[in-house]
Structures are given as structure tokens and as C-alpha cells.
Amino acid sequence: GQSLEQPSEVTAVEGAIVQINCTYQTSGFYGLSWYQQHDGGAPTFLSYNGLDGLEETGRFSSFLSRSDSYGYLLLQELQMKDSASYFCAVRDGGGGSYIPTFGRGTSLIVHP
């Protein structure tokens, strides 16, 4: 089976930098993804890491260390609109299943 752990809540102020961690346990590994979901909205894809290292997309970056079964999402220059839930998801490819499993989500609260 698969399991993912991420903090339930993170708070920060506008303009700050925040890191949301995700640790996972899978039998195989086909990449770590991050999704953002605003209240009442649809989850939207943010970033994907298939190999170790950092992927940067504007103010958001995502990092992966396969040897540590660990990744994080880094949000820089925080804005109020970044207040949302952030989910990590992994695909383990075990048994021919390429379907992602999602974490419980981290609620990010950005204060003025």
C-alpha cells in the first residue's frame, strides 16, 4: 500500500516563504505531484517531480529526494490568494496501477 504524511496546517504572513513537507511510503515510485485547492474550488495541478532535485515554476518550487522518500513544496513571496489546501500525491506503479494516492492536505493560512 501507499501512505503519505504532510502537516495539517501551516500559517505564514504575506511576503514570507513557507515550505510544506511530504513524506511517503510506496512499493514503487513514479513521481510526486502537488495540487492546490481553494475553498469550494477544484484541485489544480501545481508541480511534478519524477527525479531528484528542484523544479521551479514562478513563485512555487518543488523538491524531491527519492532516497529519503521525501519532498516539499516551497512557496515564496506569499500572497493572500495563496491561502488554500495543498496536497501531495504519489504514484507507485505497483501491480500496474498508475493512479495517484493523495495525502490529507495541508491548509495554508496567509495573514496580512
Partner 1 sequence: ETGVTQTPRHLVMGMTNKKSLKCEQHLGHNAMYWYKQSAKKPLELMFVYSLEERVENNSVPSRFSPECPNSSHLFLHLHTLQPEDSALYLCASSQDLVQSKNIQYFGAGTRLSVL
Applying CB under 8 A, which residues contact partner 1? 4, 8, 30-31, 33, 35, 40-45, 48, 50, 87, 91, 97-105
Minimum Å gap between C-beta 97 and partner 1 is: 7
48 or 70: whose CB is closer to partner 1? 48
Residue 41: how many CB atoms within 10 A of its CB? 10
* 19 burial type by CB count under 10 A (0-12 exposed, 13-18 middle, 19+ buried): middle
In angstroms, the CA 80 to CA 72 distance is 20
11 or 44: whose CB is closer to partner 1? 44
* 54 burial type by CB count under 10 A (0-12 exposed, 13-18 middle, 19+ buried): exposed
Minimum Å gap between C-beta 112 and partner 1 is: 26
30 or 60: whose CB is closer to partner 1? 30
User: 48: which strand partners?
Assistant: 33
Minimum Å gap between C-beta 45 and partner 1 is: 5
42 or 68: whose CB is closer to partner 1? 42
